[in-house]
C-alpha cells in the first residue's frame, strides 16, 4: 500500500512538471505546488477527524443523525431489521469515507516529500 502511495505521488509530481508554464521559475512553481499539497493534506486530516467524530456520535445515538426520519419510521413500524440495516449502512459509508480521506492525506504528504526531493535536486 505504501509503495502505491509513493508511486501515485511520483506520477502526480511528473504531471505537475509537465504542466508548468515555461515562463515560470521551476523553484517558484514547485514551492507553490508544495504549499497546495500540504494544505490539501491538512484539510484531509481535518475531514478525517470530523468524520471520526461524526461516526462516534452516530454509533452512540443513531437517531440524532436521522435527518430524513427513516430510522424513526422504522422504529415506529416495529421494523428493527430495517432500522439496523440503515444504521449499519450509514456506519459502513462513514468508515469508507474515512479511509478515502486517509489515503488522500497520505498521497498528499507523499507529494510534499517528492516535491521536497525535486526542489533539493534543483537547488531551490
Q: Read off the pLDDT band of 8 (50, 70, 90).
A: confident
Question: CA-CA distances (angstroms) from residue 101 to 32, 45, 52, 112?
Answer: 22, 7, 11, 17
Question: CA-CA distances (angstroms) from residue 110 to 40, 68, 107?
Answer: 12, 39, 5
Average pLDDT over residues 6-24: 84
Joined grid coordinates for residue 9? 505521488
Q: Which range of residues forms the domain containing residue 82?
A: 2-122
Q: Between 100 and 10, whose confidence is greater? A: 100
The answer on pLDDT for 23 being more than 90 is no
SS3 of residue 23 by DSSP = coil
Split into its structural domains, the chain has a count of 1
Q: Read off the pLDDT band of 65 (50, 70, 90).
A: confident
Amino acid at each position: 500500500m505504501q509503495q502505491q502511495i509513493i508511486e501515485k505521488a511520483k506520477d502526480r509530481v511528473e504531471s505537475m512538471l509537465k504542466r508548468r508554464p515555461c515562463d515560470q521559475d521551476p523553484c517558484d512553481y514547485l514551492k507553490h505546488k508544495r504549499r497546495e499539497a500540504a494544505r490539501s493534506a491538512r484539510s484531509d486530516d481535518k475531514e478525517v477527524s470530523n468524520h471520526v467524530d461524526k461516526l462516534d456520535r452516530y454509533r452512540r445515538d443513531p437517531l440524532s443523525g436521522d435527518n430524513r426520519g427513516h430510522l424513526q419510521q422504522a422504529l415506529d413500524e416495529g421494523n428493527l431489521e430495517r432500522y439496523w440495516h440503515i444504521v449499519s449502512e450509514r456506519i459502513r459509508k462513514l468508515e469508507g469515507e474515512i479511509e478515502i480521506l486517509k489515503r488522500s492525506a497520505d498521497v498528499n504528504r507523499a507529494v510534499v516529500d517528492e516535491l521536497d526531493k525535486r526542489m533539493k535536486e534543483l537547488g531551490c
